[in-house]
A and B are shown apart, each in its own frame.
Chain A
Amino acid sequence: MSLKSRIRRSSFLSFFFSVSLCLCGASAAAQSDGSQQNKTGRAGSFAIVGARIVTVSGGVIENGTVVIQNGKITAVGPGTTVPAGVERIEGRGLSVFPGMIDAATGLGLAEIGQGANATVDIAEVGSNNAHAKAITAINPHTSHVNVTRVNGITTVMSAPAGGLIAGQGAVVNLNGSTQAEMAVEGTAALVINFPRIAAGGGGFGGFGGGGGQPVDFAEAIRRRDTQVDELKKTFTKALNHARAMEAYAKDKSLPAPSTDLALEALVPYVRGEKPIVFTAERERDIRAIARFVGEMKVKGIIVGGQEAWRAADVLKQNNIPVIYTNIYSLPVREDDPYDYLFEAPSKLQQAGVRFAISTGDQGAEARDLPYQAGLAGAYGLSRDEALKSVTLYPAQILGVADRMGSIEVGKMANVVVADGDILDPRTNIRYMFINGRLIPLTSRHTELFDSFKERGVPERP
């Protein structure tokens, strides 16, 4: 081809490219911001009008309006008055709930557990990883975020696992292009896998054992006590390290304490300023944790909690709430009542122990949170308590109840609008707000559905 025609052709192509780039740019600006995979919704002022408002903290308003402005709930009340300049959302026939909170997940830390190890960032190597912070490893663009939130969950705690001191969990909203945009409390709680009495051996191991050689029970207790003593020493070292750092800060003539990030990270938790989440299922381990919490004067939370109701006395004594993650677990012993684990939340509630229901899931199935709470509602927990166990109670336990967990003026606008009871699997979410942004109810799943739902429908001639 001649040089002239080649130049003409390439000019045309570059012209075409630049025009299409402009068009793409224009349409992108018109869409919601955020990546294609993780749309972050749009800000604005909204009023959900004439809906049934389930405030959770202050009863139900049968026909009312919720106003959202600048990321916060600015009005909640009966009636249908809408302030000027606010986008109206028709709420007739719909119910408004606080966004749900799953207090114990690994969401964003593992895309696919089996077969894609490269995506797994849950458990660091080593026994003391107090300085490992989940907030630095959560992938804001994991498909688990949008899959989970379209079911009404606005916020989760995502925490590391493994080792003795696993690391620090983060309370995050399920919205944001960066970790900073998602974070509600970046370093919310320390996770400790408290030493268990591991008698080992066979299938009875379950949670108390870890398999391996069966061991005399008295010996197992001795080993556990040794490990707990080690943990206490680590706590003491952390306090000493903090004192040395503070002294050095005041007086540079003192020897500079060498850097120990793990010890540094422990300090606020050891001082009882921030909570420690202890993983435990068996009564004997929970009682040991309660003793530890009392002796060391720290703030404790139990996660897991299969038998926590049996230790209600010491849990209440030491003000230890329970994040219960075992609705979808099988009872460990053959002779346990079949509904043993479905019933545990209601037993906690009756015993006056503070609790929340959580999926405890790595991320993909955190969206089942409402149905787990609903199932507890079939085995002793009142519907009211079941709803609180995934809204207000986890907010209180995680120390964010000033900002979320109920529909109250001044709280962050994490709000869900549904066509029924959100704990019922037949209910659909119609609108969702996170931090006052209207979130598109699309996810990896809705997108795949859209791609394939019409395949094979014969084309009209």
Chain B
Amino acid sequence: MNRLIIFVLIAAIMAVPVSAQSRGEVLIKNATVMTASNGTLNGTDVLIRNGKVARIGKNIAAGTGTKVIDATGKYLTPGIIDAHSHAMMSAINEGSLSVTSMTRIRDVLNPEDIAIYRALAGGVTAALLLHGSANPIGGQSTTVKLKWGRPVEDFPVAGAPPGIKFALGENVKRASSFIQPGQTPRYPRTRMGTMETIRDAFRRAQDYKREWDEFKAKKTKAPPRVDEQLMPLVEILEGKRLVHCHGYRSDEHLNMLKLAEEFGFRIGTLQHALEAYKIAPEIAKHGAGASIFADSWSYKLEAYDAIPYNAYVLWKNGVLVSINSDSNERIRRLNLDAAKVMKYGGVPEQDALQMITLNPAKQLGIDKRTGSIEQGKDADIVVWTGHPFSPYSRPELTMVEGEVFFDRAADIEKRSLLAKERQDLEKLDVNRAPSAGGTSPRIPADRIRGDLDDADRVDGDNR
């Protein structure tokens, strides 16, 4: 008995350095927690440890080293995930060929794009970064967490399934661009050619795969030439790379689903898909997801039949729907876009919230780690001043893997420092107006963006 008491005492003493144990812990207290997977919990605490949600419950006690955030009267949601973004990229389209599967977004990531911070300020914690729609088969995409201020290597989500961008319709045909006299138009110029370009590429990929399979089975002696363009397409055939296919018209997306079935793979997501409500049963049967705008329409011909009830019809037919922005401006208000689907058709609240959280996480294959507030998942959490679907609410805090990357109070504090810095800079001779005696350079330096070409100007921002 004495030995037992001593043992217990020693164990108790060893458990005392609580401060070391709870350092790095964050406890958000007394919030309305919209989990996105298990309903909404009132007056609930969320404990975060080592970047993950450790516990969700009532009256969780804080450790000595725990940072406590009082969220009384506030709402928590999972971080918003935008499944279609061209933020943080210094180039969007390799427009010169119709099949550019060898290009990679990973190679052109720019972690200093202010769009990242503004997205965090709108509650976004992760995004699918894609090429534009200049090519029937575009380049390899990257899924990122928005870790503003970190080196670029910290952004891509480790282990996220690889993806690739396909595109159909007007942009691919370069319908809006003018062919100069003497300039050869790039093939394809019609929807017919678009389908054949994709079919041809997959046939070549099949041939390529066969060559490598035969080599590996030692049926041939010399290894086939490595083809960076065809390798990602083989990955698609083998179910290892997700296809995100931009398109608008119902017929072109239906053709894409059929082509995929012809080659034995399933499309990951139909992107934009503003006419998907016309073919919802077919999309559900194939098993593709849809990543759409909440209500954009009429900005070009192929968007003229778009309706804001698209999300509802797809959801009703069992299609996995996410709502995206394709815009550095719109990414900031995806919460209000999700709210709209409650109005247009009557999608229930949690399902609407899932369209900007859990659903895009599933579409990107990262739902085991994020997309909802659940024990064991990454602490990608937003603290809102009110209900996220109310226009009067705004994010106060955005956390990625337990670390705060947007803090409105801190942001506001920093503004006076920035204002002072600006004032000091404006006093410099070189910055004063000529009328005030400044000696400004004769010609202001032009900021050259040689990486952006015409193709980039067409894409992004709801096009």
What is A's interface to B at a CB cutoff of 8 Å?
A: 111-116, 143-144, 147, 199, 201-204, 214-218, 221, 328-331, 334-335, 337-339, 363-365, 371, 373-375, 377-379, 383, 423-428, 444-446, 448-449, 452-453, 455-456
Contacts and interface: CB of A to CB of B under 8 A. Distances in A.
Nearest to A114: B300
A112 B391 contact: no
Nearest to B296: A365
A112 B281 contact: no
B89 interface: no
Contacts of A144: 298
Contacts of B280: 452, 455-456
Contacts of B445: 201-202, 214
Given A363-B298, A378-B393, A425-B340, 15 more contacts: A116-B300, A144-B298, A201-B445, A204-B444, A204-B447, A214-B445, A215-B443, A330-B328, A335-B418, A337-B412, A374-B392, A424-B389, A426-B342, A445-B297, A449-B313
A449 B305 CA distance: 10
Contact of A378 (B302, B392, B443): B392
Contacts of A444: 307
B428 interface: no
Contacts of A428: 343
Given A337-B415, A425-B343, A217 B433 contact: yes
Contacts of B447: 201-204
B121 interface: yes
Contacts of B176: 114-115
Contacts of A338: 117-118, 121, 411
A453 B276 CA distance: 11
Contacts of B443: 201, 214-216
Residues of A contacting B: mostly: loop
B448 A449 contact: no
Q: Which 5 pairs from chain A and chain B are nearest by CB?
A: A374-B391, A456-B281, A202-B447, A364-B298, A425-B339
B299 A455 contact: no
A425 B391 contact: yes
Given A113-B299, A426-B339, A453 B329 contact: no
Contact of B309 (A221, A423, A449): A449
Nearest to A216: B442
Contacts of B446: 201-202, 214
A97 to B, nearest CB: 15
Contact of A328 (B170, B329, B340, B343): B329
Contact of A371 (B170, B277, B278, B336): B336
B310 to A, nearest CB: 9
Contacts of B345: 449
B392 A334 contact: no
Nearest to A143: B298
Summarize B's interface: helix, strand, loop or mixed: loop
Nearest to B175: A115
B449 interface: yes
B440 A456 contact: no
B97 to A, nearest CB: 24
A371 B391 contact: yes
A377 B391 contact: yes
6 contacts: A201-B443, A374-B391, A425-B342, A428-B343, A445-B307, A449-B313
A143 B114 CA distance: 37
A224 to B, nearest CB: 13
B353 to A, nearest CB: 12
Given A204-B447, A335-B418, A456-B280, A112 B304 contact: yes
Interface string B295-321: 011111110110111000100110000
A330 B114 CA distance: 11
Given A115-B176, A330-B329, A425-B339, A378 B394 contact: yes
Contact of A214 (B114, B328, B444): B444
Interface residues of B, number: 62
B193 interface: no
B296 A378 contact: no
A261 B169 CA distance: 44
Contacts of B427: none
Contacts, number: 147
A328 B391 CA distance: 13
Given A202-B448, A456-B280, A445 B300 contact: no
B150 interface: no
A329 B433 CA distance: 27
Contact of A112 (B301, B336, B342, B463): B301
A310 to B, nearest CB: 13
B3 interface: no
Contact of A423 (B317, B391, B418): B391
Contacts of B296: 364-365
Given A113-B300, A364-B298, A449-B307, A201 B333 contact: no
A214 B307 CA distance: 43
Contacts of A449: 277, 307, 309, 313, 345
Contacts of A453: 277, 309, 313, 316
A116 B301 contact: yes
A444 B313 CA distance: 16
B420 interface: no
B239 interface: no
A30 to B, nearest CB: 28
Contacts of B434: 217-218, 221
Contacts of B175: 115
A452 B277 contact: yes
A425 B422 CA distance: 38
Contacts of B412: 337
Contacts of A374: 336, 390-392
Contacts of B433: 217
A330 B444 contact: no
A342 to B, nearest CB: 8
A386 to B, nearest CB: 8
A335 B421 CA distance: 11
Interface in B420-463: 422, 433-435, 440, 442-449, 463
B153 to A, nearest CB: 23
Contacts of A378: 385, 391-394
Contact of A379 (B117, B300, B309, B394): B394
Contacts of B389: 424-426
Contacts of B117: 338
A455 B299 CA distance: 26
B307 A448 contact: yes
B391 A375 contact: yes
Given A115-B170, A201-B446, A375-B333, A455 B278 contact: yes
Nearest to B303: A112
A450 B333 CA distance: 28
Nearest to B394: A378
B273 to A, nearest CB: 13
A383 B393 CA distance: 12
Contacts of A331: 118
A221 B281 CA distance: 61
Contact of A335 (B278, B302, B307, B422): B422
A113 B435 CA distance: 42
A427 B444 CA distance: 50
Nearest to A383: B392
A455 B121 contact: no
